[in-house]
Structure 1
Amino acid sequence: MTTCRNRSCAVAALWAALALVSTSCASGDPGAPAAGEIHVSHVGKDTVSTFLNRLATETGQVVVTRASVDDAWQSVTLREERGASLYLVEGPLPSAALPGERARVGGIAAVAVPTGRDPHDWLGSHRLHAEPIGAHEVALSRAPAGQGTRAPAGTRARLGGDAAELPEIHIDAAFLEARLKELSGAAPVTVGGRSAVIRERGSKDGRALARAWMRQQYEAIGFTVEEHAYQSGWSQGVNLTADRPGADPSRVLILSAHYDSMSNAGADDDGSGIVSSLAIAHALKDAKLSIGLRVVAFDQEEDGLLGSRAYASKLYRSGQMDQVVGVLDLEMTGYDSNDDGHYHVIHCNENTSSDLAALVEEAASRGELGLTRVDACTNRSDHAAFWRYGAPAVAISQDFFGDDGNPCYHQRCDRVDRLNWDYMRRLTEAAGRAAARLLME
């Protein structure tokens, strides 16, 4: 039994009661799910291995399942609704119920959004993460509670040793500034022999120009570049990958960021992550790699992580997810208004992601970098797409969830003139050292 200690919990309990009443007269086996019935439950880490959705919380997971869940900390039963689609929404959530809210479980809201409506427009905020309830179940190998679904091959072994053993790679702040000015429209680019300006990365044409620019950058340093088109509902997008093989072809480290923007310059969100990834690839272009490096630029993160969800699903369905040693997702790396060096490396104790986080923190704690970690837990970026399939992943970010969020987040003023180039260099170097530790002999 769940004890409600606040208004939000009381609202969730009321919706749960109404949902249960609506399904209590279903015929047949009372333990079997009724047609169109789903269960939203807050459970311990890795105690449910078959689910439609799985989102991390600080201490557990919110799962959506077709079958009821035994021993859940909190659970509600909902029915699919005609003329609406159900979404999971992560906040921070207001104390009052959201439009169309049907339940609130583990700090995650279940919301019915009218068919054809954009969930963020319906909710009235692009600061909330809205994820559609999955149509197909994911089945993972069950692991002991709290220990993750599997340990990535070689990750734990590579975490031994002290900070002095971290590879020394150096990032040039002038390189970061020059490339990010190009990607965010502050300087012209030459693509395919023609001069152009990447003014925004929200439109189809703007994103295509950004991909052409990225392809040119990576091919110039010897990476193999591919585009991966996908369709998600009515939306179509294109992810871009740039690969450099290692001695062991069966393992790969993914370094990722999203290249789309809110139809603005997107210098910080997430042009900074794209350019940090590029700078790390430059630093490692001549290194001897023991495993492969794959840089992935995701499309449509701003539309609900569509690109990363499509790519992670592709790896899972093809059996390639087991090759992924880990994912370092770079989500906004250039804003530090008070120059205190605060940053996030977000793992939420999902899978074995805390091992990756420890490696990044070890690199970031080097005295000359002057970086200090601030705790945060969220599913609001592309790292979470890999958590769904049991892979270790972290989001490396500026102090977005602390006390130094960029006031131009998702605004037209998200331009390079607000960025801290030395901070971006230091945070990129920390991520690069962690990547190098996993990649190099």
Structure 2
Amino acid sequence: MMATCRNRSSAAARCAVFALLSTSCASGDAGAPAAEVIHVSHVGKDTVSTFLNRLATEAGQVVVTRAAVDDAWQSVALKEEHDSSLHVVEGPLPAAALPGERARVGGLAVVAIPTGREPHDWLGSHRYHAEPIAETEVVLPPTRRRQAAPAPAGGRAAFAGDAADIHIDAEFLEARLKELSGAAPVTLGGRSVVLRERGSESGRSMARTWLRQQYEALGFTVQEHRYRSGWSQGVNVTADKPGADPSRVLILSAHYDSVNNAGADDDGSGVVSSLAIAHALKDARLSIGLRVVAFDQEENGLLGSKAYARMLDQNGQLEQVVGVLDLEMTGYDSNDDGHYHVIHCNENTSSELAAQVEAAATRGGLGLTRTDACTNRSDHAAFWRYGAPAVAVSQDFFGDDGNPCYHKRCDTVDQLNWDYMRRLTQAVGLVAADLLIE
């Protein structure tokens, strides 16, 4: 591994980084192909439009590129390793180096993970988000660099006096989430089953059948988006309700897989919040389309959302997306303080979408208080990669009230605050209605 560092530090610091990351060329195989060099750089927002990876920070972006980046705040050049793969890792990071760490750029780490090892196992925690260096570049068109914010339907000013209203049924939330997380049996294909987990292929397949039944009962058109990511295969589920303008669509999303547990909070709560909003809008006349997407394999590195966003980009359909409201854990509030996140990281116009969510929560008098957080570790970030406005709406995960059963067997419905889930779902439902209903 050989590295160079270009930043605003002294020459001595640059040499220290070089000494830390470099290895002797004398031990290399003279006949082996030359290792490819990549550049990991911390840059200003939207200053680099061609990249392999792009992750948000509060002030800028960490980009991975094949070419060196001029005027980067910080940049490290790394060579690929033959027996491992490089990943960009989001923390919070410890003071000490992570296993296989090669550099830190913009508050993120670059880690070499041995071939065949799972990132979570190698890093020793599920609280890290590890994104492998992509094989193909994204080239953002000028139209998707700081594109205009999604306007409310019909050109109405956001949250005017005639703003749309919907009602979220608390009993509906509880009944459906108990089914999805194994606390109550469900009937699938004429037989009674219990959805004990959504990590295995069979568990995820049963969850997809359940989703199809739920959305078809609402009159939505349900489709499956099958994809392959490396050795992995997965299936996203989409449910559409058309609007008067077929060229525009709002995406409401959550991930339906779990870490081989009941996954009541992560992310059964987000899935059921999405379903409850769709239920509340099932008879409404929409001016633009509503698409609810249940992503697969979020727990394996956002594989489902990355594949879906890539497909939309390649098909030219991403331009139709006015925004993405991703619901990532909506049911835990142990101290009943009503704190929640609308995560936007100042990416493109996502902050304006976040402001609409916050305004809807305030307008609804829901007793919710927004707390700041910035992360790339949920499905909203897959859309940031392509310049689309997206936010993650979540409980106070990064504050002082994280669910102690996160990624554990005890992530069951008895941990949840049903009234808080209703109120947070209502906030997202209100902004969805404002964007959708003429």
Q: Deviations over 1:199-257 (max 9, x none)?
A: 00000000000000010000001000011111111111110000011111111100000
Aligned 8 A contact 1:184 1:199 in 2: yes
Determine if contact 1:163/1:366 at 8 Å carries over to the other structure.
no
1:414 alignment partner, SS class? coil
Which of these residues, 284, 301, 308, is aligned with residue 304 of structure 1?
A: 301
Helix, strand or coil at the partner of 1:166: coil
How big is the shift at 1:160?
Answer: 2.5
Q: For residue 368 of structure 1, give the secondary structure of its aligned residue in structure 2.
A: coil
Which residue in 2 is equivalent to 1:243?
A: 240
**TM-score scaled by length of structure 2:** 0.93
CA shift in 2, pair 1:65/1:220, >3 Å: same
Amino acid in the other structure paired with 1:45: K
Specify whether residues 224 and 73 from structure 1 end up closer, same or farther in structure 2 by C-alpha distance, changes over 3 A only: same
CA displacement at 1:51 relative to structure 2: 0.2
Q: Which residue of 2 aligns with 1:135?
A: 135
User: Deviation at 1:20?
Assistant: 7.2
Q: Aligned residue for 2:56?
A: 56
Q: Secondary structure at the match of 2:342?
A: strand
The within-5 A match list for 1:40-119 is 40-119=40-119
**Aligned residue identity for 2:292:** V
**TM-score, normalised by the number of residues in structure 1:** 0.92
Cα distance, 1:368 vs structure 2: 2.7
Cα-Cα RMSD: 2.1
Name which of 200, 205, 209 aligns with 2:206: 209
Q: Equivalents in 2 of 1:19, 1:155: separation in Å?
A: 50
Kept in 1, the 8 Å contact 2:270–2:328? The answer is yes
> For residue 283 of structure 1, what is the aligned residue in structure 2?
280
Could you tell me how far apart the structure 2 residues matched to 1:159 and 1:381 are?
Answer: 31
Alignment counterpart, residue 233 of structure 1, candidates 226, 230, 235? 230
**Kept after mapping to 2: 8 A contact 1:163/1:362:** no
Deviations 1:348-402 (A, max 9, x none): 0101101110110001113631101000000010000000001000000000011
- Pick one of 173, 179, 183 that aligns with 1:186: 183
**Partner residue in 1 for 2:38:** 38
Q: Could you report, residue by residue, the CA deviation over 1:159-213 in whole angstroms, capped at 9, with x for unpaired residues?
A: 7244644311110111100000000000000112111000000000000000000
> How many angstroms apart in 1 are the aligned matches of 2:433 and 2:419?
21
Distance 1:355 1:156, change over 3 A: farther
Matching of residue 176 in structure 1 with residue 173 in structure 2: yes
Which amino acid is 2:113 matched to? V
Secondary structure at the residue paired with 1:365?
helix
Instruction: Determine the C-alpha separation between the residues in 1 that align with 2:397 and 2:15.
Output: 32
List per-residue Cα deviations over 1:268-327 (Å, max 9, x = no partner).
000000000000000001111011000000000001101000111111111111111000
Alignment of 1:423-438 (within 5 A): 423-438=420-435
Which residues of structure 2 form unaligned runs of 5+? Answer: 1-5, 26-33
- Checking the alignment, whether the CA contact within 8 Å between 1:163 and 1:363 is kept in structure 2 is no
State the distance in 1 between where 2:42 and 2:233 align.
Answer: 32
Q: What is the CA distance between 1:155 and its match in structure 2?
A: 5.5
C-alpha change, 1:77 and 1:241, in structure 2 (3 Å) is: same
Residues 219 and 70 (structure 1), Cα distance of their counterparts in 2 relative to 1, 3 Å cut: same
Q: Which amino acid aligns with 2:304?
A: G
Contact 2:99 2:123 in 1 (8 A): yes
Contact map agreement 1:41 1:63 (CA 8 A) in 2: yes
